Amino acid sequence: MVEVGEKCSGATLEITHISIRNFRSIKSLELPLRSTTLLVGPNNSGKTAILDAVRIALGRRWGQRGTGFTEYDIHLPDDRADPKLCGPAVIELRMSERVAGEWPQELQDDLLDQIQNDPHGRAYIRLRVTCGWDAQSQGYEPLWEFLDAAGAPLRGGRRVTNTHPFFQYIPIFYMGALRDPADEFSAQSQFWGRLLKAITIPPALEARVMKVLDLVNQRLMGSDPRLAQITEELKVLTAVAAQDTAGDLQLRAVPLKAWDLVSRSEIILRNQTSSPWLPLRRHGQGVQSLSVVFLFETFVRQLLNDIYGVGSAPVLAIEEPEAHLHPQAARTMWGHINELPGQKIITTHSPYFVQHAPFRSIRLVRCTANGTEVSTLDENYSVKIPNLATLNPVLQKYPALTYDAVSGQLEVVGKMEEQAKRDLMTAFGAHNDRVQICSAIVDCAKRSEKFVSDATLSDLDEWARRIRGEIFFARKWLLVEGQSEHILLQGLAREMDYPLDRHGVTVIDYRNNGSLGPFVALARAFGIPWLALVDNDLQGQRSKAEVAQLGFSAHQLNEMVVSLEHSNLEVTILEAKNEALLRDILATECAVQAAQGASRADLCISLEGNKIEVAKALVARMRDAPQMAVVIPRSIMLMMLKLREHA
């Protein structure tokens, strides 16, 4: 399925899945890719390692030694490990048709030696790159292999014949975060240099240009007698260098050849028609960085097919395309990047850039005790199980289940039904390894509980667009009903010496952005720890029910969802022996003159109508008198203590 907002790349080669083992910070990683994939996560979490894995796999050729991996690319379990004794680094790319027959016949003919077909008739290619220490050569030897469905090298050899077309169909280009226009727009650069070299100057025009250049040079060199004197003095150089052979020497102020003139071309621009023209290098870093991104687009549209052939689809690995851009430009940058030709794999640290990206395009990258891990919004889940005849009736009963007999992979689309899980386990009831098989099926069903439907994502996309960028960069979510809770908890955290921003906690007022259930589903799918605070009223009970429907147990609900003691925040604070305090705040800071003498019922109405101002006043008073924190109700203090315990 192509998500709304994602550009379909068409019938070209595209990486659909990457598997990485023992590579840098990555111990083991399975990562699905889309036409545009965003890698989001802290610094040094492994995002660049993923980009480099793709770059190495697609950027190398058969027989090239010394241009692949080094000992620093081998994953080390600790600082005492010897990379020579550790397992090899393994990178596997899979390119698959989404629909059978999607790839054009010409492509399939060219790549006949590498293409396989799955049980549904869809063509795919598996490329594996391995690098480990070779005792005989005393070096790290890379090996490129195309694989069959079972993971064995095709035709059992070190190489498959006619591999050149494959690399022509899927060229890789990389843009680092530190993009220097002086390099990118030089005559030797990968994009600009090739564009300039491809320019053809008609012979007649070149001859006329040469005459003009010669005339201009003569005029310039004759403008000052000292230039002629310098020329004569330097002519001795030719006599020394050439000895008996006659030579000559000129001073040249303009290019010698027409193509040399073209090679010195540069971009000049101005922001407004009234502004002066300036070279690109004289503009701000944002404009310079942006220019490199669009230079790639120009290169692809102008030269890619000429250099690599018709049907080639580039893979662009780009780090921080939003670098040096202001927030509004970073927000619009997603649309420009998504429209670039080919497949894009992008790292970003900008919540503004992420704001308009489809949820399923986002990959959260973390560095854990087990190395780099990635969380995704998967649409299907798989498990490897034996091929038995008793499996066929189950597959016929549940359309969401498919099985590849060659690879032994069972795949479920969406969440696995409870009865489907039971039927699968029953199908292996007589198998010798039934305990291990059933355990694997249960694990697959458990993973599928994290499935988030398109309808839920559509709601989140509508509700949470203004905050969604920030939430993906948080270590933890604190979900509250409204703005007053948001204000109060932020202030209380500061007084408890636990500032939320410093500890990577984002407060989400979910009632203003939808409802609790979708946010919890999203947090679970992405592996983001969360806590929620709900009112003790009918709406609060509905919110807890939404979480329960996601499969959370009663114990989990009790641990992660904290209910206020009373119907809402204002009443809860009032009942915590704070009546005099609240009357004073309403009277002095909210201009409710009748607050001091109002009845309890009218007091509650005034608190409800001034909840934001009351929350701000409580935070201000806590800041001026920290002992004021004792007025905070027990439920909110419990929430903050839980938040600190799980930091």
Question: Residues near 626 by Cβ (< 8 Å), separated by ≥ 6?
Answer: 495
Do residues 86 and 135 both lie within one domain?
yes
Instruction: Specify if 192 maps to a domain.
Output: no
- Are residues 434 and 360 both part of a single domain? no
477 and 572 both lie in a single domain: yes
Taking the chain (647 residues) in consecutive chunks of 10 residues, what is each chunk's mean pLDDT?
Answer: 41 90 94 95 92 89 55 85 88 93 90 86 92 85 87 65 78 84 82 86 90 91 89 73 64 86 85 83 80 82 79 89 84 85 92 90 92 93 93 94 88 94 94 94 95 90 76 91 89 86 90 87 93 93 93 91 90 87 90 90 91 90 70 82 76
Would you give the distance in Å from CA 108 to the centre of its chain? 30
Long-range pairs of 417-421 with CB within 8 A, sequence gap ≥ 24:
418/445, 420/394, 421/445
Q: How many domains does the chain have?
A: 4
Please state, in angstroms and rounded to a whole number, the distance separating the CA atoms of residues 561 and 608: 23
Among 643, 372, 364, 644, CA closest to 528: 364
Distance from C-alpha of 350 to C-alpha of 345, rounded to nearest angstrom: 15
Do 532 and 600 share a structural domain? Answer: yes
Residue 54 and residue 94 in one domain: yes
Burial of 364 (0-12, 13-18, 19+ CB in 10 A): buried
Is 198 inside a domain boundary?
no
Q: Are strands 89-96 and 36-40 parallel, antiparallel or unpaired?
A: unpaired
Domain boundary among 245, 262, 279: 279
Amino acid at 119: P
Closest to 39 (Cα-Cα) out of 48, 28, 30: 48
The answer as to whether 44 is a domain residue is yes
**Is residue 145 a part of any domain in this protein?**
yes
- 125 and 41 within one domain: yes
Compute how many other C-beta atoms are within 10 angstroms of the C-beta atom of residue 154. 17
pLDDT at 157: 45
Half-sphere exposure of 574 (CA within 13 A, CB side): 20
pLDDT, residue 10, reads 47
Does residue 288 lie in a domain region? Answer: no
Give the CA dihedral 257, 261, 262, 268, nearest 10 degrees. Answer: 180
416, 448, 480 — which closes off a domain?
A: 448
pTM of the shown model: 0.85
Helix (H) or strand (E) holding 561: strand 561-563
DSSP state of 320: -
CATH number at residue 91: 3.40.50.300
> Cα separation of 124 and 82, whole Å?
36
Residue closest to 607 by CA, chosen among 627, 626, 584, 636 = 584
Give a yes or no: residue 64 inside a domain.
yes
Q: Is residue 367 part of a domain?
A: yes
Q: Which residues fall within 8 angstroms of residue 448, CB to CB, at 6 or more apart?
A: 381, 412, 414, 415, 416
Residues 60 and 166 in one domain: yes
Q: Which domain holds residue 396?
A: 380-448
Look up residue 480 and give its two tokens.
């509250």
End-of-domain residue from the set 413, 448, 483: 448
Task: Establish if 313 belongs to a structural domain.
Answer: no
Alpha-carbon distances of 192 from 59, 145, 199, 407, 508, rounded to whole Å:
20, 33, 11, 45, 45
Whole-angstrom Cα distance, residue 543 to residue 594? 35
**Residues 33, 102 within the same domain:** yes
Beta bridge partners of 527: none
| Cα separation, 58 vs 48, whole angstroms | 15
630 in the same domain as 499: yes
Among 52, 38, 20, 41, smallest CA distance to 366 is for 41
Query: Closest Cα partner for 22 from 368, 365, 373, 371?
Result: 371
Query: Residue 94's pLDDT is what?
Result: 96
Q: Is 20 helix (H, G, I), strand (E, B) or coil?
A: strand
Among the listed residues 449, 456, 448, 453, the one whose alpha carbon sits nearest the alpha carbon of residue 380: 448
What's the rounded Cα separation, in Å, for the pair 308 and 467?
42
Same domain assignment for residues 158 and 265: no
Residue whose structure tokens are 């594996």: 128
Integer-rounded Cα radius of gyration of the chain: 32
The answer to whether residues 393 and 355 belong to one domain is: no
216, HSE (Cβ side, Cα atoms, 13 Å):
11
| Rounded Cα gap, residues 171 and 137, in angstroms | 30
Domain of 436, CATH number, reads 3.30.70
User: Does residue 73 sit in helix, strand or coil?
Assistant: helix
389 lies in the same domain as 505: no
